[in-house]
Amino acid sequence: MAKKTTVLAIGGNAVNKPGESPTAENMRKNIEHTTDYLTEMIVKDYDLVITHGNGPQVGNLLLQQDMAKEKIPPFPIDVNDAQTQGSLGYFIAQALGNSLKKRGVQRTICSLVTQIVVDPQDKAFKEPTKPVGPFYSEEEGKKLAQEKGWDFVEDSGRGWRRVVPSPQPLDIVEREVLKDLIEKDVIVIAAGGGGIPVAKGDNEMLYGVEAVIDKDRASTLLALEIDADELIILTGVDQVCLNFGKENEKKLEKISLSEAKQYLESGEFPKGSMGPKIEAAIKFVKESGKECLITSMERLSEALEGKTGTVIYKD
């Protein structure tokens, strides 16, 4: 069987679980658990390009820096994006390499610091929607909003979180390097945290902008750029659901592109959680004609066998 080039998007909550202390030790432990699942795919001849979220991690950095601002000036969000891209890429590359060695597999792994071009006039800069950092109670969220001028939203029944701008990704600066690495059979970790958001100024000169790009949207852009055979988006649920969390909740096994569009337009999927994943799936399926799988890390192997997960396909 020919190898299947698959872009695999891992959520930031797979690194720090909700309510868990965000220590380096916990991050390493969670990533080691995560890379065991990735190793199984590689052993089964999937060629992986790995992307990951950074919402919890970049939010924690912003919180740390706000608390220490009297001694050390806070960094812009794009610099914090770069820091989390480097640290998480390091954890993933090391853990995956060790996991593969245990299985007797020798592969080169590269974590690529990736800049993603966005439009500085994107409406997202006026309408922040991307949740970052820890969960708060409604009272805590309102207090912080008043004290610090941060924007907050209720995040899918899990609590209140700070939101920051999340512009649409338009281009990958390191696109050609990425393609070269894939052609040389390197397992690449790229567009971490959605990539570092940059814009083009005079004479095409790049500069950083303060935002956090949604990693699923960036993953779609990457998958289309490299002509991937499949896009897999890992999240906290086994399957996409209608009426999520309600008595009449309905799990979806397969949905067509037109059905996915209809559900999205009817407001079935919240902007801060499943919405961007469905948007990303729609874009990938529409432009590539290939399928997108949405499932949880724990049920990934079963989803690849068609036993769970939600597949979005072209009509």
Q: Name, in order, each residue with C-beta under 8 angstroms of 100's C-beta and a sequence gap of 6 or more.
A: 39, 42, 106, 107
Query: Which is catalytic among the residues 11, 30, 60, 130?
Result: 130
CA neighbor of 280 nearest in space, from 36, 82, 2, 8? 8
Chain center to CA of 80 = 16
Query: Which is catalytic among the residues 13, 16, 54, 60?
Result: 13
| Residues 197 and 167: beta-carbon distance below 8 Å | yes
Query: Which is catalytic among the residues 54, 97, 215, 272?
Result: 215
How far is it between the farthest Cα atoms of the chain? 59
Q: Which two tokens stand for residue 11?
A: 């959520």
| Residues 251 and 202: beta-carbon distance below 8 Å | no
| Pairing mode, strands 254-256 and 160-164 | unpaired
Query: Which is catalytic among the residues 53, 89, 277, 283?
Result: 277
Query: Which is catalytic among the residues 11, 12, 159, 272?
Result: 12
Q: Which two tokens stand for residue 135?
A: 């969960």
Decide if 215 is catalytic. Answer: yes
Q: Name, in order, each residue with C-beta under 8 angstroms of 270's C-beta and a sequence gap of 6 or more.
A: 156
Q: Name, in order, each residue with C-beta under 8 angstroms of 118's C-beta and a sequence gap of 6 or more.
A: 167, 168, 169, 170, 197, 198, 199, 209, 211, 213
Decide if 13 is catalytic. Answer: yes
Return phi, psi of residue 56, to 5°. Answer: -60, -40
The catalytic residues are: 12-13, 130, 215, 277
